[in-house]
Structure 1
Amino acid sequence: MQRDPRADITQCCGILFFAIAGSHPVTLLDCEERKPHQRPESQKALAKHPDDLLAKVNGIFDRAFGTQIDYRWQSIPELQQTLIDCISTNQKACNAEKYIARIFNKVSTSSDYARRQSFKILAQQLNKELYNMSKTVAGELGEGFGTIHNRMYFKSRDFELINIDWAELRFSEGHGITNAVSPNDFFPKFTGYATGNELVLLAEVNGEKVELLRTPLSDEPDLTTLGERLRLFYLEGVKKLIGA
């Protein structure tokens, strides 16, 4: 149908295909009834484009290489608008990367960002120390003693999943000790909160609060001293619990 202008539009799409994929369309369908853009060598070349753009490009070729000319592109303006939409999609993909960079820059340069990051790291460290000390003391007390926690810990990275109230810069966790013959558990609530440039760690049992640690947000906490206080805190709590 060489005198049909729609055949010329198909030829233009063939040139576009060659420019993008680097191979000649040759035939509309190969021996396995695959259109030019569906063949392995073509798919490899086209796969270099972003998924959202590739979907639109494949859609253009799906229609361009149809076996029935009545279902191909029928006019240049129609094809032109679709190509413009493809360019817009590609520009949006580039803009998305720019948006990510701008968002990251805004967050990372925020005056409160460093403080929040320091609080998060300290909270994770302290939560792990609380968990480990409860296990250590339970082990020291021997048979019949175990631990109880406000959530399950299956691997070391679970300590990083601590829930933080970012508005208040505060976290709360529970790590306690159980005894097989006691109907109650020694299950204190630990709360850490930021005040000024420090993080304060409190333990609360039956409404009574004990300060266990006060450390600068920008420095490493004294985990040795904290460990000693925690060990004594747990032992005193269990002693009262069983009436020893």
Structure 2
Amino acid sequence: MIDFYYWPTPNGWKVSIMLEETGLAYSLKPVNIGAGDQFKPDFMAISPNARMPAIVDHDTADGSLPIFESGAILIHLAEKSGRLMPSTPKGRKECLEWLFWQVGNLGPMAGQLSHFVNYAKSVQPGDHLYAHQRYAGEYNRCLGVLERRLQGRGFILDDYSIADIIAWPWVLIAKPLGQSLDEFPNVSRWRDLIKARPAVRRGVDLAKDLRRSGQHSEQSRKILFGQTAGSLGDG
């Protein structure tokens, strides 16, 4: 059994989709990030970065194994299930390249853009214009990289894989981030192809009632966006 520490966000969807695709048994453990549950010692013992998603796999040769960071989790689940990651040296190399491309480029750029679209408050008009334009431009550039990669191919690799699963959630929400996919027909086709998968739909819908109830108050904004080293406690 896998304990899955989750809150419904694009980062969380990466792992919920993977669990649904593999059919691995899991127990959902909601962590309310707006209430600061991610800073509780029990959770930080699993995820030192105080972020989600995270899992504890209770069925490994080393006993119960905590894993944090979505890329590491997806690799673990792919190896555990024997699915969704190429086994050849070249295929594995390409999979890891695109996995790390997502965690180092597409995900962070989309996440920062989301902050300035959805959360940053301006005192004066245009206060955050440079930051907004910077991350919007980088998100657009990342979509361009993906567009070129998908030219003439159905998926990021030869077959559907964790490279697709980890990248897709941040493309799903392109429109709310202010980015049309009209200039990226390959990305748009790929987005729709993956969205049609039953396991993907189940992963995105997981605990969606929590998402509906997750409107942020001023207090939750301070918890989410006022973090410093002091937020992590004394260790």
* Shared fold (TM-score, shorter chain, > 0.5): no
* TM-score normalised by length of structure 2: 0.22
* TM-score normalised by length of structure 1: 0.22
- Structure possessing the higher radius of gyration over alpha carbons: 1
